Amino acid sequence: MVVVQGFKVPLPHPSSLTSSHHPHTSILFEPSSLSLALTHTDSSLSLYPSFSPLSPSPSPPHTQTLNIPSPSSSSTFLLLQQHPSAAPAVIFLVSSPYRSRILLRLYRLRDPSSFERVTRVLCLHKDLCFQPGLGVILDAKHGAAVRLAASVNYFALHALSSNKVWVFAVKDDGGGGNDDGSGSGGVRLMRCAVIECARPVFSLSVAFGFLILGEENGVRVFGLRRLVKGKSGNKRVGNSKQLRNGVGVRGGGLEVANCNGDLEGKMERHGVAAVKQTHVKSKLDDRDGGSCFVVLKGNEVNTNSVTKVSMSIKAISIQAVSQRMFLILDSHGDLHLLSLSNSGVGVDITGNVRPLPRTMKVKSISVLPDLSAMSQTIWISDGYHSVHMFTAMDIENALNEVDGNDCNEKLLRLPVVRVLFSSEKIQDIISLSANSVLILGQGSLYAYEIS
């Protein structure tokens, strides 16, 4: 017998009451530390450590809710792991406009009960400046929109006004604490690559060693390792000028320990590591640097003319399902499955996309990739009052059934395992585990568990 339990999740009041009068608009959840971030309508954030919505007391009394003042334009969780055997540190990263430039604020989970601002960031490039009272200032126009996406040790930043994507590496610097005894360990911030985008970017994902840009009519996939390490020598990219497609070092001296095994540098004078970033120009058919562009199947509109007009679609959300599978939500509310493969170690990526059957017009998707599980649970919402649940195993079985059939017109059928209904209109969903989901309604949070 399947039992579905649903209950409203009480939230502790923020340490500052400024955001308590503003409803929530989106949620982020970091499963390894049970950290929850709520974005409010005034663009401020509330950060909750050790948040367990499925327990009788969702947040222990001793935990401290951190209120991050507005404005904020984007935010993400980043895991900082220097050794495979060590538990990763959790960093919460927030972008904001600051005098038309981009401000990055970093907060570190110091223990299970509190986040603290990172008060020391060593920046290794001239266009990066750290000010203790503010954060890291990137000398680039903030503009109308900035997007952040992060994984283990790396994050990517897209600025719409600059038509660029920056890839950064984060490394622990001192680890144990500040010289002043405040207990907030410093970090080292290194810019690894800059991608000049010839086409608009609508979404961003960094996961399982891939950087994926959601564009019009498709997605562009970069191998993160090759993008960071680059290739030696100069390479002509499309019709662009000669670019150094690699990581250069200058100076000499002590070698710095690799960051996640992918970033190498040498110590300059004064102990500052010098890493020259990869510079890439993004073209529609460019496959240099281990990248590829995978086309989404567009919708066709019948007109009175003989020809059909193809409507452009935008990849507005990208969610990792496994190491090689990604779900793509387009601007028409349809889902696509992206499957990636490498033709060899360190060489170009290949991929293909299959459209999934349209059960409804999807507004939001959420997946919690777990490599230890046999299959991942996928949650999709129509943005109104329903959430549908299915698994990655269902997708693979459906694809195998279609591929093994001689009839090319055989439809892909995807069974929905469960459907949840909410009394409030759904704004956002977050997968908590294989059998539980967190739903953000009109100002309230609800947790559902299926057993």
Burial class of residue 229, CB neighbours in 10 A (0-12, 13-18, 19+): buried
CA angle 89, 93, 98 (to 5 degrees): 150
- Give the predicted TM-score (pTM) of the model: 0.81
State the DSSP code for 270: G
pLDDT at 310: 56
Q: Where are the beta strands (DSSP E) in 2-49?
A: 4-8, 24-30, 35-40, 45-48
Q: For tokens 């990581």, what's the residue?
A: 247
pLDDT at 357: 81
Strand ranges across the sheet with 35-40: 24-30, 35-40, 45-48, 66-68
Answer whether 256's CB lies under 8 Å from 273's CB.
yes
Q: For tokens 């000010």, what's the residue?
A: 131
C-alpha distance from residue 150 to each of 79, 204, 272 (Å) = 8, 9, 24
Q: Where are the beta strands (DSSP E) in 321-424?
A: 325-330, 335-342, 349-355, 364-367, 377-381, 386-391, 418-421
Q: How far is CA 294 from the centre of its chain?
A: 19
Residues of the chain with pLDDT below 50 are 15-20, 175-184, 232-276, 282-289, 300-303, 344-346, 406-410
pLDDT at 265: 33
Domain residue spans in the chain? 1-70+296-451, 71-283
Distance separating alpha carbons of residues 172 and 165, to the nearest angstrom: 23
Q: What are phi and psi of 226, to 5 degrees?
A: -70, -35
Answer whether 106's CB lies under 8 Å from 122's CB.
no
Q: What are phi and psi of 61, to 5 degrees?
A: -60, -30
230 three-class SS: strand
- Model pLDDT for residues 393-431, shown as the tens digit of each residue: 767 766 666 665 544 444 556 667 788 998 899 999 999
pLDDT at 404: 53
Reported residue count of the chain is 451
> How big, in percent rounded to 5, are the helix, strand and coil portions of the chain?
5, 50, 45
pLDDT at 178: 42
pLDDT at 403: 61
